[in-house]
Amino acid sequence: MARSESQIDAPWRRYWGKASRDDSRSCHLLAYHCLDVAAVAEAWLEKDRPLLDAFVRSSGAEADCLRPWLLFFLALHDLGKMDVRFQLKEPGVAGTLNPRLRGHPSLRESIGFPHGQAGYKWFFIEMGMYH
């Protein structure tokens, strides 16, 4: 099945999650990285019942209810990597994926940018979860 132009240019394809230090244009897309993390966690929870039981005890939720929520939030663990300050840590990769960033130099704010804190802020504050 051929991909349509809209699938090729889909916004989720404009963000990298892991970039190669050896090749300024090689990367693992953020969406795929997040799905990979969730898949590894699912396999881990399947094999390590004591780990799942620890989450169940600490949350008070049933395992069948808790497991999908854990996987959902693990998939979102790198949400802050969508921030331009993170993306421009690797300007070559960022410019390849997102034409608007082509030729943009790395930002001084990219150094040590806390993408975890940014993702937390986006999720809880920007999405109206906190008031």
pLDDT 10s digits, 90-120: 998 999 899 999 988 888 888 888 888 888 8
What is the pLDDT of the chain when averaged over all its residues? 86
pLDDT 10s digits, 57-76: 999 999 999 999 999 999 98
pTM of the model: 0.78
Residue 65, amino acid: C
Query: Could you tell me the two tokens for 66?
Result: 């808790």
Burial of 16 (0-12, 13-18, 19+ CB in 10 A): buried
Residue 94: name the closest of 34, 29, 49, 50 by CA.
29
Check residue 130 and give its pLDDT. 62
Residue 83: name the closest of 67, 96, 75, 94 by CA.
94
Q: Is the pLDDT of residue 5 over 70?
A: no
Q: Is the pLDDT of residue 1 over 50?
A: no
The position carrying tokens 């993390």 is 37
